[in-house]
Each structure stands twice: as structure tokens, then as C-alpha cells.
Amino acid sequence: MVSGTTRMPRPQLDRIRDGCTKILAGERDLKHAQSLLGIITWAPQCMPAISPFISRLWRVTTTAQQLHKQKITTPQGVIDDMRWWLSALHAGLGSDGRAIIPTQRLVSHTAEADAGTEWGIGGLDNARYYNAPLPASVRRRAIKNKRESSTFLELYNLLVMARVMGPGWTGHHVRVHVDNSALPRYARKGRGSNETESDMIREILLLQVRHSWSWELQWVPRELNEAADALSKQDMERFHKWAPTHRTGIQPTPSQLELPSGRYHMTPQEVERAVCGSGIE
């Protein structure tokens, strides 16, 4: 501990660099992947923002264990993450430490979000709102797996919210009310229950870094999320009843309603900002 901060020890940083380099060079041994995963799973204790860049290695390692395989698979997403880690280390990951004295960010905006198969998605903050019907591809995905459709749709809506409203939140910390209890847990873990959900969380992080804002998800009962619920059902009369203050409507573009591609690239400057934090307090 130095000056009230906790740092990643230099040997740990070197082991992460060596582990990522070996996987990029073709190393597929399960024990090697487990060892690397053990180290980088610890890393978010120093830098919470990097947790989404662990999910793919965690998934292929867990799959290999479950199938009793001695080798892991390395899809392009895993390769991209290994390159991200090397870029982050080059940018100074963990070198400056992280404050361990408890602090609390000042919430400057509040927002609400909701989604459902009945019509679509919706969200609002202090000054704006949006809603849109579900795209056919999203509806098909939700119908295909009804057991997980609620969480999938709610997380998809948060991605749309980040795309639509994020640029207007620059410099702010936002508290978002959601009525799905799984979402705050997913946000803390940095991954969802499948690859698509993890890709959504990953893109949200990238948008936060790119536009310099942050958020926290807070579960509320559905009856306290009436305005967003009304937007998700295109019930504008009920929306204006529960959100009487004037808000500007925003129409999401087709690209903002697409499912995530799973391929994201950070510039060196964005990597450095993700590593060091946005500076929002």
C-alpha cells in the first residue's frame, strides 16, 4: 500500500503479460489458461473497469473444464481480449494503484429503463426519453429462449440507452433504476449468462470510456418504474402521467438498435482512460 492506494504487484503484471503473449503465440493448454485466469480475475479488485475483458477467457476455460478437455478454444474474441490486456499493460494498468479509502460518487443524473416482448423498449433521464419497438432479430432471440428473455431484453435496452443517451452524460455519474434484479449483479461481474450478453456489457464499458460517464444500476420494484414501463409498451398517456416534467424525445437510429457485433477496438488513449478511470467523482 502506498499513499492510501492498492497496486498490482509487478510480478503479477509480468505474469499477465507473459500469459497473454503465450496465448497469442498459440498456447492452448488448459492449465495455462486457468493460471492466467486466476491472475486476471484478481486484477479488477484494483481496476474494476476491466472486468468485461475477462469474460471470454473465463467462458472458454469453463467450457473446457466441463467437457474434460485439456485444451481451450481461442475464438477471435479471446484473441482480441489478449491484445487488449497487452495494450492496457503498456498504458500503465495497475501501476498507479487505486484508492482504498471508501468514496462515493455524486449522482448527478437519474434514469429509468424497461423492456418487454409486448412492444419494445424505453428509457428516460432528467431531460430526455426514448422508446422503440423491438427489432425482428431481437424479438426472435427473446422468443427462442423464453426462460432468459426478460434479462436479455432488459440488458439489450441498457445497451440502447448507453448508445442513445450516453453522449449527453459526459462528465456525469448516473443512477439507473431497473426492475430486473439480475442486471446489477451482471454489471458488477462484468459479464452476462452468455456471450451476447457479455458483449453488451463490454460495449457499454467502451461507450462509458469513450464519452466519459459512468453509471450504477439500482433495482426497484416494477411499480416504481412506471414511466419506463409505459414507454416500453408505447403507452404515452401513462408515461406523461408518471413523468409530467417536460422531456425531449429521442428516436433511436437503426444502428443504435442493432445487437452487438462482439468486435470492439480501443485506441491507446481509450485504453489508458479505462485503466486510469474517467475522473468522474
18 Cβ contact list (under 8 Å, min separation 6): none
Asked if 165 and 125 touch (Cβ cutoff 8 Å), the reply is yes
pTM of this prediction? 0.75
Query: Residue 202, exposed/middle/buried by CB under 10 A (0-12, 13-18, 19+)?
Result: buried
Q: How far apart are CA 92 and CA 133, in angstroms?
A: 43
Asked if 232 and 114 touch (Cβ cutoff 8 Å), the reply is yes
Model confidence at 99: pLDDT above 50: no
Confidence of residue 35 (pLDDT cuts 50, 70, 90): very high
Asked if 74 and 23 touch (Cβ cutoff 8 Å), the reply is yes
52-93 per-position pLDDT tens digit? 788 889 989 999 999 999 999 999 889 988 988 888 787 776
Question: Which pLDDT value is given to residue 266?
Answer: 62
Q: What is the mean pLDDT of the chain?
A: 84
| Per-range mean pLDDT, top range of 22-36, 37-51, 86-100, 249-263 | 22-36
Question: Which pLDDT value is given to residue 268?
Answer: 54
Alpha helices (H) in the chain, listed in sequence order? 10-24, 30-42, 55-66, 76-91, 136-144, 149-165, 182-189, 195-211, 226-232, 236-242, 268-276
242-266 per-position pLDDT tens digit? 998 899 999 999 999 999 986 666 6
Specify the 3-state DSSP secondary structure of 52. helix
Name the more confident of 148 and 189.
189
Question: Which pLDDT value is given to residue 145?
Answer: 72
